[in-house]
């Protein structure tokens, strides 16, 4: 659900709000607050992360991040999305890289776990946004 705001927010605003306990994604400057997804969703995400990590980590192929990660996809107005799981190859983000802000490089792989409450259009829009972010930066 979108919050009612008179001005568009920036990625910096979202990061500040996150520190104040507001959880959500920013889509073209509009904050969409998110709620915890529940046990089943979290269990699937955890199991997939473990499986992917058991392949990626020992081979030093890259890094994985989970839903607390924000990925900066668009600017002016800003879009910051939260993939359930994201893989970044070591070629795109060095293994020793540490940044306290949002990822500014699109992931090489995104996993989105669809919940029963997710609408078809919402899922389609999110998938399209991830695909477009990759095409736009290739």
Instruction: Please check whether residue 6 lies inside any domain of the structure.
Output: no
Whether 4 is in a domain gets the answer: no
Look at residue 7 and give its three-state secondary structure. coil
- The domain of 37 spans 11-137
What's the domain count of the chain?
1
In a domain, 5, yes or no: no
Flag whether 59 is in a domain: yes
Question: What is the pTM assigned to this prediction?
Answer: 0.85
Residue 54 lies in a domain: yes
Q: Tell me if 16 is assigned to some domain.
A: yes
Query: Could you tell me if residue 70 is inside a domain?
Result: yes
User: How many Cβ atoms sit within 10 Å of the Cβ of residue 102?
Assistant: 20
**What does the pLDDT profile of the chain (138 residues) look like in tens digits?**
555 556 899 999 999 998 899 999 999 999 999 888 889 999 999 999 999 999 999 999 999 999 888 999 999 999 999 999 999 999 999 888 887 789 988 999 999 999 877 889 988 998 998 888 864 444
In a domain, 1, yes or no: no
Q: Please spell the DSSP secondary structure of 86-124, one letter per residue.
A: EEEETTTS-TT---SS-B-S--SEEE-PPPTT--HHHHH
Read off the CATH number of the domain in which 72 is found.
3.90.1570.10
């Amino acid at each position: 659900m979108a919050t009612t705001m008179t001005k568009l927010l920036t990625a910096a605003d979202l990061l500040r709000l996150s520190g104040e306990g507001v959880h959500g994604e920013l889509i073209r400057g509009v904050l969409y607050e998110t709620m915890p997804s529940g046990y089943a969703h979290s269990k699937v995400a955890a199991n997939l992360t473990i499986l992917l990590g058991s392949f990626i980590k020992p081979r030093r192929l890259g890094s994985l991040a989970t839903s607390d990660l924000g990925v900066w996809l668009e600017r002016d107005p800003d879009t910051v999305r939260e993939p359930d799981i994201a893989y970044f190859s070591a070629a795109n983000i060095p293994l020793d890289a540490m940044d306290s802000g949002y990822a500014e490089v699109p992931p090489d792989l995104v996993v989105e776990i669809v919940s029963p409450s997710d609408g078809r259009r919402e899922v389609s829009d999110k998938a399209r946004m991830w695909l477009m972010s990759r095409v736009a930066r290739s």
